[in-house]
Structure formats: C-alpha cells, structure tokens
C-alpha cells in the first residue's frame, strides 16, 4: 500500500496531479486545499497518500499535510461519505474550520459543503465529536521543551503555522527560540510574525 510519494510535479489540476516518481507517473486525486499550496510544475513535492482499493480500481488520494489526510480518513470512515465527498469537504473547509465546526456542532457550516445535507452534517458532527482532537495540528497540547505545552498562545501559533505548510518540528524549534527570546509576552500576531521571520531564514 502506498503511503507517501515524492517526485516531480508532472502536471496539476484542481482535482488531481500527476507525480513523476523515477519515471513512473502516478495520478493522485487531491482536495483544493492541497492544490492551492502546490509548488510550480516540474518542481519536487511530497504528498501523504491514502490508497483506496475498490473491486474495479485502485485510487490514490494525496495531501500536502498529514492533518489533511487524517481529516479525510475520519470523514470517509462515516457511513455514506465516500472519498469524493471527503475531498469535497476539504476543498470547502480548511482543517481548522472543520475542526471548529465539529467541536461546536456547527451543522450550518458543515452544510455549506456541496453534497452534504442537513442529515449528513449532523452525522459528521455527532460521529466525529469524540475524535475531533485528532484534527488539531498539534495532535495534543505541546510542550516546547519535551513535547506537551499548555500555553494557549503557542498552541494557536503552532496551529496557524502548521496549517501554512511548515513542518511541525521546525515550528516547535522556532517557537522554542522565540520563547527564550522573551516574545512570549507579546500577542499572537507578534509571535507568528517573529516565527515567520525565523522560519524564512531556513
């Protein structure tokens, strides 16, 4: 089963890409959230893959972040929601918005997704309510030193930066440096601004 693909972006469209992996082209279906963050054609990219096996076909679904894949798997684990509808949800709602909608039981927001009616929206909110923590980019509260913090400022900053496409470990290291520099007393925007500057340095 394919779980990850790294290759050159041979072609891209809002619904799918073709990845050239050592001369073999893989067609991968994607949500708009991934499409908008893809690099230019012929550049190297890594996608987290879900391999969906049917009787008549094997389809690959790709995501730029593990959180997107986790959301996709949670959604498609609900009866009546297949891969196509799962992609539609992620194409309409960013993971943080989906997370918030499920947490608060906002069926109206869930219902804005094409193909999701009132009953489906209610089912998503109900069935994923106890699993929604898995959609938090941090997975759990993070400790900048060892791995689990309770500072809401840093959790919010980490969530925002991970959803911008930065690697979780890179963001942790950056926030750790900012904390030591004393930026912790500033607001969320200031922390994110400082983090972006630090991350831009590579």
Q: Is the pTM of this model over 0.75?
A: no
- Please answer whether residues 126 and 102 qualify as being in contact, where contact means their C-beta atoms are separated by less than 8 angstroms: no
The first and second tokens of residue 120, run together, are: 């489906």
Q: pLDDT tens digits for 101-136?
A: 898 889 999 999 988 988 999 999 999 988 877 776
Is pLDDT of 143 > 60? no
The first and second tokens of residue 98, run together, are: 């989906």
Helix, strand, coil percentages (3-state) for the chain, rounded to 5, are 50, 20, 35
H-helix or E-strand containing 24?
Answer: strand 24-29
Is pLDDT of 142 > 60? no
Q: pLDDT tens digits for 19-74?
A: 999 999 999 999 998 998 899 999 999 999 999 988 888 999 999 988 899 999 99
pLDDT score, position 96:
84
Three-state DSSP class for residue 28? strand
In angstroms, the CA 171 to CA 162 distance is 7
Q: Exposed, middle or buried by CB within 10 Å (0-12, 13-18, 19+), for 178?
A: buried
Is pLDDT of 189 > 80? no
- Domains present along the chain, CATH in parentheses: 4-63 (2.40.50.140), 67-135 (1.10.150.20), 152-200 (1.10.8)
- Residue 10's φ and ψ, nearest 5 degrees, are -70, -40
Closest to 131 (Cα-Cα) out of 161, 153, 99, 159? 99
Three-state DSSP class for residue 123? helix
β-pairing, 44-53 with 4-12?
antiparallel
């Amino acid at each position: 089963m394919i779980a990850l693909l790294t290759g050159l972006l041979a072609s891209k469209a809002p619904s799918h890409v073709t990845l050239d992996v050592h001369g073999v082209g893989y067609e991968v279906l994607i949500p708009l959230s991934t499409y908008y963050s893809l690099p230019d054609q012929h550049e190297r990219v890594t996608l987290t893959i879900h391999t969906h096996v049917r009787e008549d076909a094997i389809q690959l679904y790709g995501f730029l972040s593990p959180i997107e894949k986790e959301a996709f798997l949670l959604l498609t684990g609900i009866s009546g929601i297949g891969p196509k509808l799962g992609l539609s949800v992620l194409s309409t709602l960013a993971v943080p918005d989906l997370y918030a909608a499920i947490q608060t039981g906002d069926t109206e927001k869930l219902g804005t997704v094409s193909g999701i009616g009132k009953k489906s929206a209610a089912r998503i909110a109900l069935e994923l309510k106890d699993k929604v923590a898995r959609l938090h980019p941090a997975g759990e509260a993070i400790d900048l030193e060892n791995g689990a913090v309770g500072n809401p400022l840093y959790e919010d900053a980490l969530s925002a930066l991970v959803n911008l496409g930065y690697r979780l470990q890179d963001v942790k290291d950056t926030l750790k440096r900012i904390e030591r520099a004393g930026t912790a007393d500033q607001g969320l925007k200031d922390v994110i601004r400082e983090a972006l500057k630090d991350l831009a340095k590579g």
